[in-house]
Amino acid sequence: MQSAQLVNRFEYFDSVASTNLELKRHYLANPGSWPDFSAIAAAQQTAGRGRLGRSWVSEPGSSISVSLLLRPETEAQQTWLTLIAGLAVADVVSSLLPEQSVGVKWPNDVLVEGKKISGILAELIEPGVVVLGIGVNLARQQSFADSAALADFGLEPDFDSVLALLLAALRGRYNLSNLSFGLAQLRDELADHCLTLGQQVRAELPDGRELVGIATEIDSDGQLIIQADEAVALSAADVWHLRN
């Protein structure tokens, strides 16, 4: 697989419960054998995990599930991991679908024509060690009709080719995120590709509170600034774009 050339260790499985769980299990069994930017990929997950304890559907052959073992060197780099993953996916999807509207819904969903084509789940497994899981839909999934997939737009996507594009796009941004000028560059890129900015949004905060306002900015920590009665910086939330 060409994808194997783009990471420091690569393991592929036809089917696993969850690539995040599988990578975590292998890493904890033998941490030294998993260098920074190692990956596990699978064509099917039987118990894929989403954010906030939700599940993530990955039927056989219909999506890419990949998880990367990352050892970010700074707090800032760690904070930006999910955002750079969203940017990398959006970059790949927009290069494959140049006619479609593609962007990042903060913090880390990638939408094509308003529908979700990708989800990202970062999990801190021990201090300084993160498993960054990315799911990208290649073909329509029977049990998940309201999402988008590359095949919806006439492509016949090849697992390894799309994964290789994704790993290359992610690696460049991961390296950049280790540099302070790189983070500024990534913030500009996100401002250009974030569908949430300028929208009226409803945000559900982790403590259950709700906030409605205009999303005005993403700050240097990757937080979304919402102008409600006053400006509020969100580091984690579920966000809905409200139509006016």
Residue numbers at the binding site for ligand BTN (CB under 6 A) = 18-20, 45, 48-51, 54, 56, 65, 67, 109, 119-121, 133-135
Q: How far is the C-alpha of 228 from the C-alpha of 174, rounded, in Å? A: 33
Nearer to ligand BTN, 85 or 218 (CB): 85
Nearer to ligand BTN, 65 or 199 (CB): 65
Q: Whole-number minimum distance, CB 114 to ligand BTN, in Å?
A: 15
Nearer to ligand BTN, 115 or 178 (CB): 115
Nearer to ligand BTN, 13 or 153 (CB): 13
Pairing mode of beta strands 38-42, 9-13: parallel
Q: Whole-number minimum distance, CB 230 to ligand BTN, in Å?
A: 29
Q: Whole-number minimum distance, CB 214 to ligand BTN, in Å?
A: 24
Q: Whole-number minimum distance, CB 40 to ligand BTN, in Å?
A: 9
